[in-house]
A and B are shown apart, each in its own frame.
Chain A
Amino acid sequence: MGFKDYCFRKSLWVFHFGGASCNNCDIEILDCLTPRHDLERFGILLVGSIRHADVLLVNGSINRRDRDRLLELYRQAPKPILVVAIGACGCTGGIFAEGNTFAGPVDKIIPVDAYIPGCPPKPEAIISGIVKLAGKK
């Protein structure tokens, strides 16, 4: 196990990018931090800057305006970074895939390490996805 992989084992710091979403996934991500689910017991913390993050959570369908900003965020991120696509829209575009502003699901824009499907995924699913990812890398 290399040093970088070792760093991913515990205390993942997470940056949240909400694309053109309906807010459901954003709220469920915030919900993970509140008392019932309490992600901080795994050392997972939502941080304010991508430069501090180990994980980039992306939810929502990505529209043309978000696309360049997502690319820019990915460029600024310290590598290696884990990218997680959350929700049906993040994984495939979901119900908005036929929209006139849709600019492709997340994996067409940046490489994605894990997909958490659901509309919205339950907090349990989000936690399970991220914990699995932390163990695997």
Chain B
Amino acid sequence: MSRKTLIPIGPYHPLQEEPELFKLYCDGEIVRDIKWETGYNHRGIEKLSESKSYDQVFFLVERICGICSTSHPFAFANAVEEIVGVEITDRTKYIRSVIGELERIHSHLLWLGLACHFLGYNTVFMWAWKYREPILDLFEMITGNRNSYAMFKVGGVRRDIEKSKIPAIRREMGIIRKKLDLLTGAVMDDPVIHARTKGVGILTRQDIIDYAAVGPTARASGVDIDVRRDDPYAAYPLVNWKVITAGAGDVFAKTEVRLLEMYESASIIEQCLDALEKLEEGNIALKINEIPAGIGTGRAEAPRGEVFHFVVSDGSNSPARHKIRAPSYTNIATFKKSCIGQTISDATISLAAVDPCYCCTERMAAAYDSSSGEKILNANELIEISMKRTKELRKSEAGHE
């Protein structure tokens, strides 16, 4: 048996903007096994959510992930509105979709830049990030902040998109199309990018189904899923657009899907703006006085795939249980299929290709002995302890009564 060399990437690697640790077990140049460790980013959001009121939770879930900071409030709003059982107004639907799609454009441009940076093609990195800036300016104009927009609330949105702002957004959509043409040309026709990404990190259709991968990762392998179409919400059933798929499943196909999705997003935004011009200003939020007891599920298509929020309400002011599943949670597991057997240099771009977002994914705690470094409690044991503790508390409460 050959000896394997361990090559760590991270947790604070200059290539990554988030802390995470990959362990590549290599035989020469070839990656034979991969393990990853997270937890550097764990903030206990689900637990925090139970101590905040419904209005405050929006600000919290927005800060799960800064890049897709509308998809989480989107899914949470869908979940809570299911509990309340209201249908939001048309104007609200269009505003929500405009924000969601602007975010998709900025997130995909960000990914494209980072992916090319991973390939060593820094020109496209700089271009993509330069073209991303006007989108952030639009966000600043509409919502007041470049990221973390604080736009959503239960039953509506916090700010209107007034008629005076529409021409600026429309103009920017025209400009971004031309820039996308340029970027698409630079990426699709470049022989170096072809050589580095075609046939690299292939995920077959079966792999996607086995690992339950979602979003552009799945669509690039020919799995035609998109929550915006399959479980319609907001204004997506009201406008014309199509789901982009590709068949090859390699890094190039994932790039292609994301590039073409940006054109679709621009088209969705323009259609929403047309509708917003016809509708009357104001009337952007329903007045909701209380959240009844019940269970709600909310889904939204983030730039990386499906975001799922599950909310249990007991009729009080804050959620009794709030469960979040971010798209990277399933997408990251596909590394086992895409990276093994590649060279180290190809493995890094395969890792980046699913657009992993670790701050979305963090969700476990384990206790370690500080002197020996041995794990003394894992997640299941921690759950057992907490269940035991709850039973004891219930017993003592019963005793008091």
Of B11, B40, B60, B125, chain A has the most CB atoms within 10 Å of the CB of B40
Docked-complex contact B43 and A96, CB < 8 angstroms: yes
**Residue B121 is within 8 A (CB to CB) of chain A in the complex:** no
**How many Å from the CB of B379 to the closest CB on chain A?**
14
B22 within 8 A of A: no
Give chain B residues whose Cβ lies under 8 Å from the Cβ of A65: 39-40, 42
Asked whether A36 lies within 8 Å of B147 as measured between CB atoms, the reply is no
Beyond A99-B43, A99-B47, whether A35 also contacts B11 by CB under 8 A is no
Give the distance to chain B from A70, nearest Cβ to Cβ, in Å: 9
The SS class assigned to the B binding surface is loop
Among candidates B12, B19, B41, B148, residue contacting A120 with C-beta atoms closer than 8 Å:
B148
Contact between chains at B51 and A98 (CB < 8 Å): yes
- Contact between A36 and B69 (Cβ–Cβ < 8 Å)? no
Residue total for B at the interface (Cβ-Cβ under 8 A): 39
Residue in chain A with minimal CB distance to B12: A17
Q: Are B40 and A31 in contact (CB under 8 A)?
A: no
B42 touches A30 (CB 8 A): no
Majority secondary structure, A binding face: mixed
Chain A nearest Cβ from B149, distance in angstroms: 11
B64 on interface, CB distance cutoff 8 Å:
yes
A18-B18, A35-B130 given; A66·B147 CB < 8 A:
no
Choose, from A19-27, A106-114, A128-136, the stretch at the interface: A19-27
Instruction: State the CA gap A28–B357 with chains docked (Å).
Output: 16
Report the bound CA distance from A27 to B103 in whole Å.
14
- Among B11, B17, B59, max chain A CB count under 10 A is at B17
Given contacts A27-B17, A46-B14, A99-B47, contact A20 B41 (CB under 8 A): yes
CB–CB A24/B69 < 8 A: yes
Chain A residues, Cβ within 8 Å of B65: 22-23
Q: Are B60's CB and A73's CB within 8 A?
A: no
In the bound assembly, the distance between CA atoms of A35 and B44 in angstroms comes to 36
**Are A34 and B130 in touch, CB under 8 angstroms?**
yes
B11 near A36 with CB under 8 A, answer: no
**In the assembled complex, A47 has its CB within 8 A of some CB on chain B:** yes
In angstroms, Cα B11 to Cα A33, docked, is 22
Mark contacts of A60-89 with chain B using CB atoms, 8 A cut-off: 1 yes-contact digit, 0 otherwise: 110101100100010000000000000000
The answer to whether A95 and B130 touch across the interface, beta carbons within 8 angstroms, is no
**What is the 8 Å Cβ interface bit string for chain B, positions 10-25, against chain A (1 contact, 0 not)?**
0111100111000000
On whether A122 and B14 interact (CB within 8 A), knowing A96-B43, A101-B44, the answer reads: no
| Cα distance A95–B57 in the bound complex, in angstroms | 10
CB of A119 within 8 Å of the partner chain = yes
From B42, B51, B129, contact of A31 by CB (8 A): B129
**A43 touches B (CB below 8 Å):** no
- Within the complex, what minimum Cβ distance (angstroms) separates A85 from chain B? 16
Contact partners of B69 in chain A: CB under 8 A:
22, 24
Q: What's the Cα separation between A120 and B145 when bound, in Å?
A: 9
Instruction: Specify which chain A residues have a CB less than 8 angstroms from the CB of B148 in the assembled complex.
Output: 22, 24, 119-120
* Between-chain CB contacts (< 8 Å), 29 pairs: A18-B12, A18-B18, A20-B40, A20-B359, A20-B362, A21-B18, A22-B69, A22-B359, A23-B18, A23-B67, A25-B66, A27-B17, A27-B67, A27-B147, A28-B146, A30-B129, A35-B129, A36-B130, A46-B14, A49-B14, A63-B41, A69-B12, A95-B59, A99-B44, A100-B47, A101-B365, A102-B43, A119-B63, A120-B147
Hey, which bits of chain B sit against chain A, CB under 8 A? 11-14, 17-19, 39-45, 47-48, 51, 59-60, 63-67, 69, 110, 113, 125-126, 129-130, 133, 146-148, 357, 359, 362, 365
